[in-house]
Chain A
Amino acid sequence: MSVELSKKGLILSATGLAAGYDGRAIVSGINIEATPGKVVSIVGPNGSGKSTLLKSLVGVVKVLDGSVKVGEKTITNMPPEEVAKIGVGYVPQIDDVFPPLSVKENLEIGGYLLKRNEIHGRIDAVLEFFPKLKVMMSRKAGKLSGGERKMLAMGRVLMLSPSVLVLDEPTANLAPIVATQLLEEYIRGFADFGSTVLLVEQRAKAALRISDHTYVLGGGRVVLEGAPGDLQNNPIFVESFLGGGAALRAPKE
């Protein structure tokens, strides 16, 4: 990575985590850990609670039980603005940019916590990483294509040089070639630089290709986990994700 966009990572972990809406748990009994220099992915069928899990880690959805830590700091139910401050950058699956704001303004909001004189330097660094954005700085984010929009969403979180990147289905609605580039070039690049990357990904094969460790969610629980090589040899995983079989179910208690 030519420019230092992210910081050396911190461990992001959740222990015994339950989270959901209106006091009702969507995910429960979750124990996960994402470590510096690694891409850790979460895969699972639709409705398995992947996005809810990520949102609970970054303070958007209420944690009902268990704890979340970044490094030595407990961030359970910490407001999202504080989570951003301690170095966790979160890119949601949808609504990942501010559509009425220009590309430049989106990046400026990404750097909201920076000092005024630091913002332009950071924007230059982000643009060096995503040069395509350079020519569309005054364009409204709502007018961008899917790939451009996702670059901007990533650029926005990189403005604060995060230690931990939490990415919710970054390749959703992207053309395959753009999705591959995003995963293999950019996202893998952050981990290789030393940052912590926690990724929810619908494309299981693609996720496995860049991951160091993968958790499989089913029915709101972790039903499988392991290194990509191990999972690819697991018949349940193969049947569910690589062979088009039945969706995974949570184990009965």
Chain B
Amino acid sequence: MSSFGFGLISAAVLAIATVGFTMQFAVTNVLNLAYGSIMINSAFVTYYVNEHGVNAWVALIGGVLTGAIASWVLNRFVYTPFQKRNLAPITVVIVSLGIDLMGTFGLQAIVGGGYVSFSQNQGREFHFAGLLLSSLQLIVIGICAVVLVGVHGLLKYTRLGKAMRATSANKNLARNSGVKTQFIISTTWLISGALCGLAGTVFAMNAGVFEATSAQLYIVLLLAAMFLGGPGEPYGAMFGALIIGLSTEISAAYINPDYKDVIAFIALIVMLMFRPFGIFGSEKTN
């Protein structure tokens, strides 16, 4: 049962990250493998603000802003110039991989290789339904719920969200309808980047201790959750995150926890064999 609790928290963190990741992919058409490095850089910004005596939950705003601005800058000055040259999409993916390595090891060069932690504890513990959860974990689940409801509301009920979905579905047609898709794409980088920064910070908070390379393999879970739900499908991302979060943590109770990322990929491969476009995706998405 405790592994189910861990799975729930992992799923909550992963859901925040994956929703941003898949939104970014769907609207901007960039598979941004540097997402994990922006997460951990954002977490370190939160950490340093927290170190200066600011409450960690307030310092989190710094992490969110870092994720948003770094993602926007990355798109504006790196990805967009490459996309304008009409290169094969894989080129931008490779570029993003390079950015990921530079982001992670550049951070390590600056902050060193040691583990750090926020100056806050996990808070009171609560028992219910056989689960033992700390205040921090409950807050993470709460943040996840707010993010998921917020993203749903954004995409379903706002003019911006509908324009984002239209741009994702058919960019040329959106432009023919008067949508300034370049503005929509820039805004998407800001929003998905903010989710990336938020996810990085709650990931680090939940881990307790972290260092510059802590999120280096997180992209594996992100890809698994995104493709499981259906690439570019925000609701699929939420579902994929739940499955991957639970399966990796529950499996860790029975096998060596070092192999839990492998479980994520086994789940992904099984899914791709039977439904290559994911649970929520359509053949066209694929």
Contact = CB atoms under 8 A, between A and B. Distances in A.
Given A99-B169, A112-B159, A90 B176 contact: yes
B175 A98 contact: no
A101 B284 contact: no
B166 interface: yes
Interface stretch (B47-55, B57-65, B177-185, B264-272): B177-185
Contact of A156 (B165, B177, B180, B181): B177
Interface string A69-107: 000000000011101110000101001111111000100
A109 B284 contact: no
A105 B177 contact: no
Interface residues of A, number: 29
Given A95-B170, A98-B169, A98-B170, A112 B176 contact: no
Contacts of A101: 162, 165-166, 169
Contacts of B162: 101, 105, 108-109
Contacts of B165: 98, 100-101, 105
Given A98-B170, A99-B284, A101-B169, A109 B163 contact: yes
B282 interface: yes
Given A112-B159, A142-B282, A98 B176 contact: no
Nearest to A166: B176
Given A101-B162, A101-B169, A80 B176 contact: yes
B74 interface: no
A59 B175 CA distance: 10
A83 B172 CA distance: 12
B166 A109 contact: yes
B178 A98 contact: no
A92 B175 CA distance: 12
Contacts of B282: 99-100, 142
A109 B166 CA distance: 7
A233 B172 CA distance: 40
Given A108-B162, A109-B162, A95 B172 contact: yes
Given A108-B162, A112-B163, A142-B282, A81 B173 contact: no
B179 A58 contact: no
B177 A112 contact: yes
B176 A109 contact: no
Interface string B145-167: 00000000000000100110110
Interface string A105-120: 1001110110010000
B101 interface: no
B95 to A, nearest CB: 22
Given A92-B172, A116-B159, 9 more contacts: A80-B172, A81-B175, A84-B175, A84-B176, A99-B284, A105-B165, A108-B162, A109-B179, A156-B177
Interface of B: 159, 162-163, 165-166, 168-170, 172-181, 282, 284
Interface of A: 58-60, 79-81, 83-85, 90, 92, 95-101, 105, 108-110, 112-113, 116, 142, 156-157, 160
